[in-house]
């Protein structure tokens, strides 16, 4: 089963918790044992799994990315002016695979699934593919 989620971001750098939407796709699929692939087809956005209980974790991730890969660096060659967004996305990655066990996403107690947009605000697509046995 495949479903395309549409996620509207609101800031230049937006981190959106999409766990609930992905979980709904898994439930709708009826798959009991398998995998869930979460993918975003954008070169300046990415998908990651990390702690969702404490919003300071996401703030710390954004802060650290800003320090490591600053938005304005005169050494960047890409003409569109969004090199930092491309680099951040490339480092983090545009997909994740999450096991499905007993019809549930096998996330850890504090884990959530996030879409990160580094060149917003925009509407982003997230493709969710569920494979497995019902």
Owning domain of residue 69: 2-133
Whether the CB-CB separation of 107 and 11 falls below 8 Å is answered with no
**Domain count of the fold of the chain:** 1
Query: Which CATH number fits the domain that encloses residue 38?
Result: 2.60.120.460
**Tens digits of per-residue pLDDT, 87-120?**
999 999 999 999 999 999 999 999 999 999 999 9
**Tens digits of per-residue pLDDT, 30-74?**
999 999 999 999 999 999 999 999 999 999 999 999 999 999 889
Smallest Cα–Cα separation from 21: which of 125, 92, 132, 119?
125
Question: Which residues, including other chains, have CB under 8 Å from residue 12's CB and lie 6 or more apart?
Answer: 118, 119, 120, 121
Classified as helix, coil or strand, 24 is helix
């Amino acid at each position: 089963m495949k479903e395309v989620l549409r996620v509207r971001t609101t800031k230049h750098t937006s981190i959106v918790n999409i766990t609930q939407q992905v979980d709904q796709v898994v439930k709708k699929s009826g798959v009991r044992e398998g995998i869930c692939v979460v993918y975003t087809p954008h070169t300046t956005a990415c998908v990651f799994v990390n702690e969702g209980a404490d919003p300071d974790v996401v703030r710390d991730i954004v802060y650290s990315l800003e320090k490591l890969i600053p938005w304005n660096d005169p050494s960047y060659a890409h003409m569109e002016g969004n090199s930092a967004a491309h680099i951040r996305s490339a480092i983090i990655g545009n997909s994740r695979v999450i096991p499905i066990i007993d019809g549930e996403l096998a996330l850890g107690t504090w884990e959530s699934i996030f879409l990160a947009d580094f060149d917003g605000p925009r509407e982003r697509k997230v493709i969710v593919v569920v494979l497995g046995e019902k």
